[in-house]
Chain A
């Protein structure tokens, strides 16, 4: 008969192994998240329902649907399907739109700072009560600056 001590010993051993394995796998996960994030377009637009591209990459490792990224479009879905063959698709097709950048109509800007707070990639420069402007090269076209603007002075246009 196996005594209680042996069982306890085995349980402890398995727990220790699991703890080590988890730490190892977590390190691997981090690299995997990075690999997935590098396939995402980094617009940080949150259209996927997660607050940025890295958070979506983390959710993808946890099994989220692979077709939630409109800026990435079908090309990104293909790449993600290769990396994550077991993740589901949420719908049949994914609508994509052409790349746009934001522009602030500087004459109408009141310097409220709300768009600067909203921009996920620090692409808007300015200070409270001073005119703001969008750095076109840095803008990812996420449109997150549009809703907070109280005077609707931000327009999206082709780069």
Chain B
């Protein structure tokens, strides 16, 4: 069996082809660490992915156990070293999220177990099977952030304690998205450029809390719960989907927001569900029915965005494509079978990419100007000192 790992952004591989690695060995480091979930030989490496020829599937913890009440820095470092990212689907590095929360100060910790998408119920299975670990993970987070705990759940029952507040929500898509949670639990409507942390809230998926508890026990993030065609299974990250399901392409994620991937795709850290890919439907021209506009929970001009040709980033930005939460409600309501979500996703990606590039360019320009000024001052100082020396020498004779 060949296990595959995709290189996370701003990270690089730290093994070579031919290296023999044990389960839990570090494969990549940088912004997010990647660990081998199997024992085997590194077969090939390129810029995007690493292939591991699997020899043994037995898993062992590769880090030392850590006390829940260790210092904040130690716990944060462990979360980073375990390679934990948001397992709800966002995939944002958890240590960065928590570090920002600590820097800004938060008073509310939301544990998100609202699984609101059809076809995904891995968190429900996790809550059922791993209650002690989840409680330990939430306690570790509470200790780290010193915030009051809010448990949010939908159909499943999340482990809870008396001191924690539990909110049971009607789990209709997109009830579990963090912007929607802030509104339904605290009545806070986030502005377009705001995240929960700006209001003293940090939202952590229940699977992430479980991964944090396991990291304290010594496990890097090498396994997760995945709903495989309706059945929940605890799987090693890197497992090829083709070893679980028949077919040449698969849908990764839920039935609304899932994406179709090729036959060689692996289970990744954010893969919450896999299914055989649905049959593609022939798209017809848009009939301007505005069904997508009506259903959009973020009130975006979806129909306009769906008609916008890709590459027109300025127009996409004016239409606020970067505010799309990718819930996927717009696609099934389309009577013309247009894959609206994919189009919106592309616009959102383009706008966000352009925004980060613009910000990075402005920062680079400022640093260049600052350096020019610094060098001008330095050379003026040098020149002044030289003149002074010259005069002194002339005076002395």
Please report A residues at the B interface, Cβ cutoff 8 Å: 37-38, 40-44, 52-54, 103, 120-123, 136-138, 140, 157-159
Contact = CB atoms under 8 A, between A and B. Distances in A.
Contacts of A120: 368, 371
B368 A54 contact: yes
Interface residues of B, number: 18
Contacts, number: 48
Interface stretch (B165-173, B221-229, B356-364): B356-364
B368 A159 contact: no
B231 interface: no
Given A157-B12, A159-B9, A159-B10, A138 B370 contact: no
B370 A122 contact: yes
B367 interface: yes
A136 B12 CA distance: 12
Interface string B360-380: 111111011111100000000
Contacts of B369: 54
B193 interface: no
A121 B47 contact: no
A122 B30 CA distance: 20
B367 A122 contact: yes
Nearest to B12: A157
Contact of B365 (A42, A123, A157): A42
Contact of A121 (B9, B10, B357, B368): B368
Nearest to A99: B357
Contact of B364 (A136, A140, A158): A140
Contact of A42 (B47, B362, B371): B362
Given A136-B10, A158-B47, A159-B10, A54 B365 contact: yes
Contacts of B30: 136
Contacts of A138: 363-364, 367
A101 B96 CA distance: 21
B362 to A, nearest CB: 7
Contacts of B9: 159
9 contacts: A42-B361, A52-B372, A53-B368, A122-B367, A122-B370, A138-B364, A138-B367, A157-B12, A157-B47
